[in-house]
């Protein structure tokens, strides 16, 4: 009996591994009292499995079913009948309803949540906004909050990025993370992108649930090999794992890559051949990752190469990179 009692807490600890964070959708106490107030049919206004709206529908189905122990059906197509909950973009919803004048103004990534009518409406200015609204609604339900609300939520900042310090290549170690205390990298192993990116998708899910819209996947102390063809294919797979949750991918760049990887005799940012090399590699990245979020650059700091190596200013180095994006 003593042995059994000792094993019980261990089993509970093992079951709660923390991977899902708050998204484990734990059963709500006394859930039966809420059943009449909980949606049982959901229409998600996008049928593409890479769409954040599609993902929002699946999260709502899973969350409601898990928290309230009730059957919940989701249909990933335009509304052709009654539904207890509609999730999608304002534009998609406006094609189904003439009654959109009550929807407040939304900016990029904003959402509108309305539980006051016959249907729960979760409408985003874009698809990221829609999934943010879905997570907000699930957070309310998880707290047993079924009160009637109608409000808009707009982000205060358009750039809400996480900077990972994962090392692609670090003295032969396997997937290390600078100052990392939570284990190995979920992106890299032995100098290449991992084959199994399950946890990258789980990570994107958690980040999306709190409104993070991009991840810089590698350490600011970068190296050139992230831009070789093998790793760019791998990085594209990471972007694929992020995309259903509306999370975009960005990379730290090694400023001397034109020389270290491209075989040039210089990485001077004012040299035309260096500028051309960066333009070409950036074109390749966007071909593989159309929603690529951009570069993070650490230059002439802690031994990292940069424009000062050639007596160029940091601004001149930044302008070389930003020119591809139409900035200066």
Residue 181 confidence (pLDDT): 74
Name the least confident of 19-33, 213-227, 256-270: 19-33
Q: What is the pLDDT of residues 202-233, one digit of tens each?
A: 999 999 999 999 999 999 999 999 999 999 99
DSSP code string of 87-118 = EEEHHHHHTT-S--TTSPP--TT-EEEE-SSS
pLDDT (0 to 100) of residue 13: 46
Helix and strand counts by DSSP (H, E) for the chain: 9, 12
- Is 273 in a helix, a strand, or coil? helix
**Number of neighbours of residue 53 by Cβ within 10 angstroms:** 27
**Nearest-angstrom CA–CA distance, 172 and 187:** 16
Confidence of residue 271 (pLDDT cuts 50, 70, 90): very high
| Average of per-residue pLDDT across 93-104 | 85
Contact 93, 121 (CB under 8 A): yes
Report how far residue 318's alpha carbon sits from residue 328's, in angstroms, rounded to the nearest whole number.
8
Q: Is the pLDDT of residue 12 over 50?
A: no
pLDDT on residue 15:
64
For residues 257-285, average pLDDT = 96
Prediction pTM value: 0.91
pLDDT-derived band at 179 (thresholds 50, 70, 90) equals confident
Domains and CATH numbers, the chain: 19-153 (3.30.379.10), 161-325 (3.20.20.80)
Residue closest to 113 by CA, chosen among 56, 168, 166, 73? 56
**3-state secondary structure at position 35:** helix
Q: What is the mean pLDDT of the chain?
A: 90
The DSSP H or E segment spanning 75 is strand 73-75
171: left (phi over 0), alpha (psi -120 to 50) or beta: left
Radius of gyration of the chain (CA): 23
pLDDT level of residue 194 (50, 70, 90 thresholds): very high
pLDDT in tens, 135-177: 999 999 999 999 999 999 999 999 999 999 999 876 556 788 8
């Amino acid at each position: 009996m003593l042995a059994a009692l000792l094993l019980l807490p261990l089993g509970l600890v093992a079951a709660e591994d923390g991977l899902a964070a708050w998204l484990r959708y734990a059963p709500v106490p006394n859930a039966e009292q809420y059943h009449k107030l909980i949606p049982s049919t959901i229409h998600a206004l996008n049928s593409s499995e890479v769409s954040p709206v599609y993902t929002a529908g699946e999260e709502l189905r899973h969350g409601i079913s898990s928290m309230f122990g009730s059957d919940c059906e989701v249909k990933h197509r335009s509304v052709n009948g009654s539904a207890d909950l509609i999730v999608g973009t304002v534009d998609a919803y406006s094609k189904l309803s003439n009654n959109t004048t009550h929807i407040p103004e939304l900016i990029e990534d904003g959402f509108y949540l309305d539980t006051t009518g016959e249907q729960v409406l979760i409408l985003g200015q874009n698809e990221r906004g829609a999934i943010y609204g879905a997570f907000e609604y699930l957070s309310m339900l998880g707290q047993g909050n079924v009160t009637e609300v109608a409000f808009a939520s707009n982000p205060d900042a358009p750039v809400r990025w996480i900077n990972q310090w994962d090392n692609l290549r670090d003295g032969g170690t396997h997937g290390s993370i600078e100052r990392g205390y939570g284990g190995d990298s979920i992106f890299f192993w032995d100098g290449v992108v991992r084959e199994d990116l399950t946890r990258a998708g789980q990570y994107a899910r958690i980040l999306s649930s709190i409104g993070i819209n991009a991840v810089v996947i590698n350490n600011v102390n970068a190296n050139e090999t992230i831009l070789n063809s093998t790793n760019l294919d791998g990085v594209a797979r990471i972007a694929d794992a992020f995309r259903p949750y509306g999370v975009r991918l960005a990379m730290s760049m090694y400023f001397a890559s034109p020389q270290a990887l491209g075989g040039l005799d210089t990485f001077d940012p004012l040299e035309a051949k260096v500028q051309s090399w960066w333009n070409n590699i950036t074109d390749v990245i966007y071909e593989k990752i159309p929603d690529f979020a951009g570069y993070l650059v650490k230059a002439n700091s802690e031994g990292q190469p940069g424009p000062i190596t050639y007596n160029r200013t940091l601004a001149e180095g930044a302008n070389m990179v930003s020119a591809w994006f139409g900035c200066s």
